[in-house]
């Protein structure tokens, strides 16, 4: 039995985005990522079900706050001192 089932959510992975999937969570840990159609089998046994429609689940510790300059100028002046 899962503590939480997040359904209808897009999941970001290192291989791309999984559209319309479900995330099963037990004791604070992700135990499964399922196709939303397969989540129907565990939906009734979940303590809580959360609809993630329109949301994107991303792995923890991913810095999603970036500016274009962070990508364009990465490694451009690594050999310079801070005040140069």
- Is the CB of residue 45 less than 8 Å from the CB of residue 2? yes
pLDDT surpasses 90 at 25: yes
**Is residue 83 in a domain?**
no
Indicate left, alpha or beta for 6 from its phi (over 0: left) and psi (-120 to 50: alpha).
beta
Q: Does a structural domain hold residue 27?
A: yes
Per the structure, the complete domain to which residue 15 belongs is given by: 4-72
Could you tell me which residue, 59 or 71, shows the higher pLDDT? 59
Q: What is the pLDDT of residue 73?
A: 65
Q: What is the CATH number of the domain that holds 13?
A: 2.30.40.10
With 90 as the cut, is the pLDDT of residue 35 above it?
yes
Q: Which of 57, 73, 48 is nearest to 11 (CA)?
A: 57
Whether residue 82 lies inside any domain: the answer is no
Residue at 79 is within a domain = no
- Residue listed under structure tokens 């609809």: 51
Counting the structural domains of the chain, the total is 1
Query: Is residue 42 situated within a structural domain?
Result: yes
pLDDT at res. 70:
64
C-alpha 14: how far from its chain's center?
10
């Amino acid at each position: 039995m899962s503590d939480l089932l997040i359904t209808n959510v897009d999941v970001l992975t290192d291989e791309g985005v999984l559209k319309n999937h479900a995330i099963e969570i037990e004791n604070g840990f992700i135990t499964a990522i399922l196709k939303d159609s397969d989540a129907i089998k565990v939906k009734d046994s979940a303590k809580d079900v959360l609809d993630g429609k329109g949301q994107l689940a991303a792995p923890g510790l991913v810095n999603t706050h970036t500016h274009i300059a962070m990508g364009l100028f990465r490694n451009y002046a690594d050999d310079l001192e801070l005040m140069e």
